[in-house]
Chains A and B, each alone.
Chain A
Amino acid sequence: MKAFDFVAARDARHAVALLAERTPTAKVKVLAGGTDLLADLKFAPTAHAPDVVIDISRATELKHISMTDEGLRIGALVTHTEIMASPIIRELFPALVDAAHTIGAVQTRNLGTLGGNLVTAVPSVDSGPTLVALDARVTLLGSGGQRQMPLAEFFVGPRKTALKADELLTEILIPKESVGKPTHFLKFGLRKGQALALVNVAASTWVDWDKQTFVAPRVALGAVAPKVIHATSAETFLEGRAITPDAMAEAGRLAVGDAKPISDFRASADYRRDLIAVLTRRALEAAFELARRRKS
């Protein structure tokens, strides 16, 4: 690893001040859990290696999980292990627990943070689809103040986000409209442990029990486009539609058209297209099953 300055930020505001001070003249990286950053640093060409690393891992105010009037707030430094252990997330958002469980292994989940996973923004980001299917928003703190945006817009492309040089991702908000929304996450990798997703899918929906129809259905796909995407054709098709096995299968077929999968050494684009259809249908079935269990 190339040498760099290591600066420990006291809190988020201090980190933002450091970013504003150092980014104009130096290549700066923010260190949270470090599981992505350190692996990258060891192999980065010297030209891309940072001059400064700002450690935010001691910013304790970014480690909260709390229910508020606006919805569930998750601090950017909450680890995947903490998500899996959180009673409120286990009760209201089991899909987030399932998604966290598919990330890396125990050692990486103990260090890796939700914020870090999102900021790295690989197309296969396992935290992404469930949060996108819950219409999650992210809060970005910069020297000029803070702003919020949908997570789906925060992702811009492979390893590219809407973060400006002097901004820090501080919080993830699952809005109150999505609190307790039945959601299911599925990941298909080539092994059970430590595998990148060939496809990951999350589906969420409310149900109008009188009409037996989908309300605000969401389908989010990972690893099959430059970033996590909404399968908008599937979502539009399902909105207000009667809940039937055929409708869910058709949504799966439509989701395929929303994706742009690539062929690589892990799988062909055709195989990924087949997976999208099957996993979307299964995720919708499971989300509906959860809705039914919660109703009874």
Chain B
Amino acid sequence: MTKVTLTVNGEARSASVPPEMTLLRLLREEFNLTGSKLGCDVGDCGACTVLVDGKAVNSCLMLAGQADGRDVVTIEGLATMERLHPIQKAFEEKGSLQCGFCGPGVIMSAKALLDENPDPSEEEIRDALAGNLCRCTGYTKMIEAIQAAARVEDARPTAKSA
């Protein structure tokens, strides 16, 4: 077994897991954070996208042991009880999701983009979403939502970005 201690959505968490367990399964099965989805399981679809030390990664392609000591943010880390994150709000307002399966991954990719680049061009948004596949809504409304969120001041990174 591998002992893993990491920060998830600002909280210190630890678990003892089999070495072959991925970060995605650690989040879903050990921590009950089922927002990140298991889609293709080989890094093509992006439904499992989370932030590790601020960077968007496919959590299905990372072993839990590799995340030891790192800072992980999942879709559950964005909204509070009071309100949605501005990116989530924009997705809701623009009707950017239909079945929603790809949504958590797309929104985490968008968050990573806006944290680094608060005013991305459409081309930059498309590039940031190239690793997130959506099979129902398409991408136009997502891009519109990300552009709208970029105009909202509090979508931008803060001292403690989560």
The segment from A1-9, A205-213, A238-246 that touches chain B is A1-9
Does chain B have a CB within 8 A of A35?
Answer: yes
Q: Mark A37-48, 1 if CB is under 8 A from B, else 0.
A: 011011100000
Complex contact B130–A38 (CB within 8 A)? no
Complex contact A6–B19 (CB within 8 A)? yes
List, in ascending order, chain B residues with CB within 8 A of A108's CB: 43, 58, 61, 131
A77–chain B nearest beta-carbon distance, Å: 12
The segment from A99-107, A215-223, A270-278 that touches chain B is A99-107
Q: Mark A17-29, 1 if CB is under 8 A from B, else 0.
A: 0000000000000
Nearest to A191 among chain B residues (CB) is B130
List, in ascending order, chain B residues with CB within 8 A of A111's CB: 57-58, 61-62
Complex contact A106–B56 (CB within 8 A)? yes
Q: For chain B residues 48-69, which have a beta carbon within 8 Å of chain A?
A: 49, 55-58, 60-63, 65-66
Nearest to B59 among chain A residues (CB) is A107
Does chain A have a CB within 8 A of B97?
Answer: no
Complex contact A38–B131 (CB within 8 A)? no
Complex contact A1–B20 (CB within 8 A)? yes
A211–chain B nearest beta-carbon distance, Å: 41
Complex contact B19–A81 (CB within 8 A)? no
In the docked arrangement, what's the CA distance between A106 and B44, Å? 11
B residues contacting the other copy or chain, number (CB 8 A) = 29
Q: Mark B85-120, 1 if CB is under 8 A from A, else 0.
A: 000000000000000000000000100110000000
A264–chain B nearest beta-carbon distance, Å: 19
B78–chain A nearest beta-carbon distance, Å: 17
List, in ascending order, chain A residues with CB within 8 A of B20's CB: 1-4, 6, 41
Does chain B have a CB within 8 A of A55?
Answer: yes
Does chain B have a CB within 8 A of A192?
Answer: yes
Does chain B have a CB within 8 A of A143?
Answer: no
Q: For chain A residues 91-147, which have a beta carbon within 8 Å of chain B?
A: 104-108, 110-111
Complex contact A39–B61 (CB within 8 A)? yes
Complex contact A105–B130 (CB within 8 A)? yes
Nearest to B62 among chain A residues (CB) is A34
List, in ascending order, chain A residues with CB within 8 A of B55's CB: 81, 110
List, in ascending order, chain A residues with CB within 8 A of B144's CB: none
In the docked arrangement, what's the CA distance between A195 and B132, Å? 13
List, in ascending order, chain A residues with CB within 8 A of B49's CB: 107
List, in ascending order, chain B residues with CB within 8 A of A193's CB: 130-131
Does chain B have a CB within 8 A of A57?
Answer: yes
Sampled A-B contacts (15; CB under 8 Å): A3-B19, A5-B19, A31-B63, A34-B62, A42-B41, A55-B65, A81-B55, A104-B131, A106-B127, A106-B128, A108-B43, A110-B56, A110-B57, A193-B130, A194-B130
Binding site for A on B (CB under 8 A): 2, 18-20, 22, 41-44, 46, 49, 55-58, 60-63, 65-66, 109, 112-113, 127-128, 130-132
Binding site for B on A (CB under 8 A): 1-6, 8, 31, 34-35, 38-39, 41-43, 53, 55, 57, 81, 104-108, 110-111, 192-194
Besides A34-B61, A104-B43, 20 more A-B contacts (Cβ < 8 Å) are: A3-B19, A3-B20, A6-B2, A6-B19, A31-B66, A35-B58, A38-B22, A38-B42, A55-B63, A55-B65, A57-B66, A105-B132, A106-B56, A106-B130, A107-B58, A108-B58, A110-B55, A111-B57, A193-B130, A194-B44
By Cβ-Cβ distance, the 8 closest A-B pairs, closest first, are A105-B131, A6-B19, A193-B130, A39-B42, A110-B55, A1-B20, A105-B130, A107-B131
